[in-house]
Structure 1
């Protein structure tokens, strides 16, 4: 499904015309010209309940963003939408998806999955099709559509309640005489959602006994046919979890002599293991699985099964669903099948399990966020394995003017941790077409426990992607860099196609009261971490990555979708492996149907010790709101922002009644000004200060980064921030070309002085414990704010037995300011507008100091 917009459904990507008008122009590309068509499309849509309010049609041309089209006419079939699709080429397809939009959520509900138009009249360039609710078939002739009366759904809402829906209305008061259940189950009473109506297509049937989910009855409705009842809302009850939650190991349990397969699918009537000879095979050997405890299914294959290709298959009602095992640790190309692996065979030469660089408190971390492809794909990167795990691991690479690139650049910068955007197997890049340029951030999970194949030198070989990722991790460890992984357990790419939904429909996701999928993530679905088997999966998955890949931390995308208990269980499980493993996340307060007191967001940070939240207060305080393009902050000219900056400087803790945000401890705050989301800081400065000179923008940029790296909490830098990275105005580059997303090593050479300045700030931060206090009481005792002019923030951090007192001054004014020092002793200058580091740049004597425009000054008492 092609949807334009931000990965969380918030923003629209700027056009290339705007992009080209900004600071740099993009390189010209030669595009092969082929004949394109504009096709007139007519779509007839039928909903069997006649409820069309809010429904519209989302349509797109292949490999292009989609657009919403209204239903503007009616006929005897239903609603009609007419529109044009442009830019179609030979062999292209047209995608269709009916959706229901509401004022607060344009993706409130979607009808089933994508439909595809594969043919049209090429002489007239037009096509007319018929689609209907709940089916993915596209009909080119209305006569082919079967709208005869039938049962659309019969599902168990509660242990003694069945919900039935039909595609045609019926007189509900007579329905009891026409409906029967098998296995001797009697209908005790019926209930219509609206008893005032004489006809309906939806009823609730109350039975005389509790229903067996693994052996449900068959329902017969005179005039509408028969259907096996399936589990419905009942899977989201507390009783369901109590009855079926399983604590043991799941997935393929490999041993050289045999492999045990264990699957959790308590609502299935049967389950099968399907073994394939080749990844392209459509049919495989089906092996019946036996029912086990707590809704599990098991079978065993004797002998060494390393390399065996498999899927799982379950019968839900009258339908068989085939899915990749969610616990598969290896997958075929594009992740369409699982692979049994002896993981010992995936270890690269020199692999050192559980050995990693030494590390102290979380506040000692300086995190550098990057993307595997971004780091190396530039033609002047000097890196051989461009866009690959192995490219990250290359050493000794150079770019323009001999500057260090890739890993050497990161190491030279002096950071402690490298955080990678998603490196698990994601859906949006076709691993069979890697000779074509493809890009995605990767926030569209497909297989959570296997690496992404497009980052491997051979995506067809399941061991290669694992070995090369491990090699990358090991190389970074050897260079004394720790590794964080960005994890996205809050949603899946497509619910209908997800293994979770195929194996246990309705269980793993949150639903609104009206039965539609919750959408706090903004991408159509929210996973339900509060349910015990979703929580177990998250904990199992994170601990697998930590153990098998020796990872040092996890960044939880949209962590606010999850619940507090799940995040605390993740923290507890990782503490058993290595307490120094970092957990950071986006603790935003998102609109998902979960008790507010249980949401893993900033408001509940006090309930989650050892888990850090990105601090959007200082982010927006420094540069302006990310949701308002022209809004400015402290560094780019907005007055009255001193309080917001002070709140960030103290690490988000309750420093005083006036200065308090969400953190109980500085290790719960990630201090930052830019990340992969939204405009880069440089692009934000261009938007908010269009008349400023490049030199003035450099000063603003440098000031913002210096505040981040001298504040309490966990420091975070976006890759390229050190050379004032631009994405040419593209604030949502989740699938934009390499020319937008890649790290520009030419820019790194041009901005060499700026890089040296950031290197100096990092060196200073790591050398001075005063910037990395871990005890909130110590921050309150030692950090004191000074009186200073408007649009400045000045403070001291008192010395200890081994540390000297520091004075830090941030001046956001376009003019110099005079700041009164706490005493008239001599002070060594460590940071000024030109240089930063641990070396003394000069000495200040007297009661005042002059601070240059848009700059930071750090003084150390002699």
Structure 2
């Protein structure tokens, strides 16, 4: 079932996406304008190892592989897949298999370095031909040895060796200093290398790869950058021969960097932000839109992050900061809207129209269009041409660490910006048809939005591991969030974990075991349901210590789905049943009540850390496990331990939480009540077991003017406003038409309503209330329970059952009682088993910043907790 929009930074050539089953459905980029291929346009045959070819649609009779200009051949006889082959290629088990004639097996290395066809005489006397997919046989012939090779620039006593894996290339040379330098091939690994002089350091280079390119049906010589680049010239035109260990690339204090104490993933509280959003409109920053903005300790943005760190936020999650494809890196080349955007009405369509005209060439991009995986993006550097980006990225990490925050990188190894002969294709122009995941007809899989990669292939999996280790060692990154992690094999992500765990302070300068990992474990596309390998999905990653995003609780808090035609469909924190709006899609009062109570069950499971085996009484009065609660036809609970599921109420995808509530709460809802509902919604994640994430600015009621997919909406719709005098972003015009026009009839009256633009007092109050929640979480050990058994023992929902109150959720956690009241009335929750037990409102709230929450009371004789409307209150025993 479609139930989540996952948007990513795709320029016009890489359009926005909408993912399936917790992820998104993506629009594929337009095809490259290359010449049409000669010969078959499909590749229905797959050479899976040196012994076996599988050919979809073939007759199970003799066939052959043809290669070379004189049509040399490799004979194929009908065969079957071995058990090991079926295990390695489960999606091919139903297709005819052929065995390579033993007399011809030695021809494979030669055959793979040119045009290759599968051919067969058909029953009617005709001839069938098709292209051949070769990743499997390349792995079989070269993968075991090549996986141990050091690729990219490697320095020894000041002399660089440049190494690239290109087993199918006829020749590879180095373009450097305007000359062509031959490279030597290792026939056992398919690796080409050349060692240069000391004076090569700092020079730009490219590889000249002469190779058969199936997408254009001819042999080409590609001038291509190094996929293992460590530095680049501006706009990624050339790689640079760079030693990341060079002393001049280390900012002062880098080798002695003191990091904040590591926080276990199960206790992590994470703030997600985009580098440009953070400072582009911060007038107090000396480096707006740059890495160095995180070194501006006195800026409004850094002061706010530091205050969150003091309250309990432990990590900042940076949206992609590796080199991406489609943002001009030089400021002079970056377009800017040519309109007076501030002059238009808050519900005007003029702002979005003006922003859209320059969106393809402006400085803004979320960064989900990877070009070079292991080089910092140049548009965030003061100078994109050279190694300033390396130094300044490191200074950014220093700045965050100095503010008490560890740094997480959002990494996107599941796809590339382009494939084939496209100028933004790197991997596929070096080893055509290997690094991309191919469908059974030979086309590149695009379920991730763009040209999908194949981490199940040895050398793509190696690239993922090598890249992550480089970021950890050379940039001292403290965690990684994997985009569309479910498109990776579980084994690949576990290999990343193993490689990080091997890093030690004495040997590598970092403690890899303290680096956290989490990602999007959505199950969709050509890899869905473990069709090709065991995926790194929510269910499969349980028990690994690597977390996946928990969309169950998120949907229950917000209500409905991002795919809803009517964005007013309500949920727990947006007024379903307790404060209904006029949307017919919400159903009758009886239907709303039933759905709200089911949402409360989803939230109960979420508050446990989304544990599969946690047992409790659901809202129908039955004893159930977390896995027994339904979520769109799948089990709600899937975690084996706290830390397996990451809680959140909003992230960069979809409308911000404030905007979702703007759509869903009745229009009459006042600013103060909207803010209170925002805090309760955030509390469902902040006070859960396991890690939790919030989008930067959600504590400031951040709005993107109802934009559901702001990947290409520029600074105008995306920038964070740390100074409340600048507003929260609401009313900056109708959001861009491309992804929002169907919502404009709902958006226009809201944006025109001045009551929905909160003032400073409301914004400051919300931020302070959120910090109170963080302090409670940080200071109460019960929020960091280490095992499922400990959660089962310490956490309960004493009023859950047939008589529980719709809109009020009461949780007992060790010596705490937490009441979430989203109703417009004061709630009285009587827990008879606690009668006579002393409880008081948690001192952080009793003496905190919210006078309304401070009125929450407890009546000891009856065990009754009384909580104001639209409030989360935490009570402590004793």
The normalised TM-score by structure 2 is 0.73
Find 1:609's aligned residue among 544, 565, 568.
544
Structure 1: tracts of 5 or more residues without a match: 1-5, 14-59, 68-103, 116-131, 135-148, 165-175, 192-203, 222-228, 277-282, 799-804
Q: CA deviation at 1:303?
A: 1.9
Quick check: 1:272 aligned with 2:208?
no
Distance 1:451 1:730 in 2: 28
Report the Cα distance in structure 1 between the residues aligned to 2:381 and 2:767, rounded to whole angstroms: 30
What residue in structure 1 maps to residue 731 of structure 2?
A: none
Distance 1:153 1:371, change over 3 A: closer
- Pairwise CA distance, 1:524: 2.9
Q: Which residue of 2 aligns with 1:733?
A: 710
Aligned-pair CA distance for 1:212: 3.2
> What is the DSSP-based 3-state SS (H/G/I as helix, E as strand, rest coil) of the residue aligned with 2:473?
helix
Contact 2:266 2:690 (8 Å CA) reproduced: yes
Query: Is 2:648 the counterpart of 1:672?
Result: yes
1:815 paired residue number: 825
2:482 equivalent to 1:466: no
- Taking structure 1 as reference, are residues 778 and 840 closer, same or farther at Cα in structure 2, changes over 3 Å only? farther
**Shift of residue 419 of structure 1?**
0.8
Map residues 381-392 of structure 1 onto 2, 5 A cutoff: 381-392=283-294
| Cα distance, 1:394 vs structure 2 | 0.6
C-alpha separation between the residues in 1 aligned to 2:818 and 2:710? 35
- State the match for 1:454 in structure 2: 379
Following the alignment from structure 1 to structure 2, what is the Cα–Cα distance between the partners of residues 190 and 217? 23
1:487 aligns with 2:411: yes
Correspondence for 2:811: 795
Identify the residue that residue 375 of structure 1 maps to in structure 2.
Answer: 278
Distance 1:557 1:727 in 2: 22
> Which secondary structure state, in structure 1, belongs to the residue aligned with residue 317 of structure 2?
strand
| 1:376-401 C-alpha deviation (Å, 9 max, x unpaired) | 111x54111000011122111248xx
Q: Are the equivalent residues in 1 in contact too, given 2:6–2:654 (CA < 8 A)? A: no
CA distance in 1 between partners of 2:145 and 2:645 (Å): 38
Q: What SS is found at the alignment partner of 1:754?
A: helix
Displacement of 1:617 in angstroms is 0.6
Q: 1:790 to 1:516 in 2, by over 3 A?
A: same
Among 477, 480, 489, which residue is 1:554 paired with?
Answer: 480
**1:768 — aligned with what?**
780
Query: CA separation of 1:833/1:441 partners in 2, compared to 1, >3 Å: closer, same or farther?
Result: farther
Tell me if the contact between 1:390 and 1:468 (Cα under 8 Å) persists in the aligned partners.
Answer: yes
In the TM superposition, what whole-angstrom CA distance separates every residue of 1:520-557 from its partner, at most 9, and x where no partner exists? 31x13221111111111101100110011111100111
Partner of 2:211: 316
Does structure 2 retain, via aligned residues, the 8 Å contact 1:426–1:447?
yes
Task: Tell me which residue corresponds to 2:557.
Answer: 622
Measured after TM superposition, the shift of residue 11 of structure 1 is: 6.9
CA displacement 1:697-718 (0-9 Å, x = unmatched): 2221111112221111102111
Are 1:637 and 2:562 an aligned pair? no
- What CA distance in whole angstroms lies between the structure 2 residues aligned with 1:817 and 1:264? 65
CA distance in 1, matches of 2:39, 2:482: 44
**Contact 2:154-2:243 at 8 Å conserved across structures:** no
Change (3 A) 1:105 1:813: closer
Alignment correspondent of 1:239: 140
2:428 alignment partner, one of 495, 501, 505? 501
Partners in 1 of 2:15 and 2:848 — Cα distance? 48
Q: How far off its partner does 1:631 sit?
A: 2.5
In 1, are the aligned partners of 2:574 and 2:677 still within 8 Å (CA)? yes
Equivalent of residue 526 in structure 2, options 576, 589, 592? 592
Q: Which has the higher contact order (CA 8 A, sep 6+)?
A: 2
SS at match of 2:454: coil
How far apart are the structure 2 equivalents of 1:824 and 1:66? Answer: 61
1:351 aligns with 2:254: yes
Pairing partner for 2:242 from 341, 344, 347: 341
Structure 1 residue 205 displacement after superposition: 14
SS of 1:259 mapped into structure 2: strand
Structure (1 or 2) with the greater helix fraction? 2
The answer for the alignment partner of 1:21 in structure 2 is: none
Conserved in 2, the CA contact under 8 Å of 1:651 and 1:666? yes
Is the 1:108–1:517 Cα contact (8 Å) retained in structure 2?
no
| Structure ID, larger Rg | 1
Q: Secondary structure at the match of 2:221?
A: strand
Correspondences of 1:20-419 after superposition (within 5 Å): 112-114=31-33, 133-134=36-37, 157-158=46-47, 185-186=72-73, 209-210=104-105, 211-214=107-110, 232-237=132-137, 239-240=140-141, 245-276=146-177, 284-317=179-212, 318-343=219-244, 344=246, 345-352=248-255, 355-378=258-281, 380-398=282-300, 405=303, 407-408=305-306, 410-411=308-309, 414-419=312-317
- Do residues 844 (structure 1) and 853 (structure 2) align? no
Secondary structure at the counterpart of residue 352 of structure 1: helix
Kept after mapping to 2: 8 A contact 1:764/1:836? no
Distance 1:163 1:338 in 2: 38
Cα deviation digits, residues 570-589 of structure 1 (max 9, x gap): 11111222212110101111
Q: Does 1:684 align with 2:620?
A: no
Residue pair 1:244, 1:295 contacting (<8 A) in 2 also: no
Is this contact kept in 2: 1:396–1:408, CA < 8 A? no
**Deviation per CA, 1:207-260, whole angstroms, max 9, x where unpaired?**
872333346687899xxxxxxx99941223463465664312111102343111
The total of aligned residue pairs comes to 697
Is the 2:235–2:378 Cα contact (8 Å) retained in structure 1? yes
**Cα 1:453–1:230 shift into 2, 3 Å:** farther
* Aligned-residue RMSD, C-alpha: 3.9
Query: Which range moved further: 204-213 or 540-549?
Result: 204-213
State which of 646, 651, 659 in structure 1 corresponds to 2:609: 651
Distance 1:284 1:701 in 2: 61
> In 2, Cα distance between the equivalents of 1:264 and 1:632?
53
Question: What is the Cα deviation at residue 849 of structure 1?
Answer: 2.2
Cα distance between partner residues in 2 of 1:206 and 1:549: 47
Give the 3 Å change call, closer, same or farther, for CA 254–360 of structure 1 in structure 2.
same
Instruction: Tell me the TM-score normalized by structure 1.
Output: 0.74
- Which structure 2 residue ranges, 5 or more long, are not aligned? 17-22, 56-62, 79-97, 118-128, 213-218, 337-362, 504-511, 577-595, 616-623, 628-636, 729-759
Corresponding position of 1:542:
468
For 1:410 and 1:323, the matched residues in 2 are separated by: 44
Q: Offset at 1:790?
A: 2.2
Q: Offset of 1:156 from its aligned partner?
A: 8.4
Q: Does the 8 Å contact 1:810/1:855 carry over to 2?
A: yes
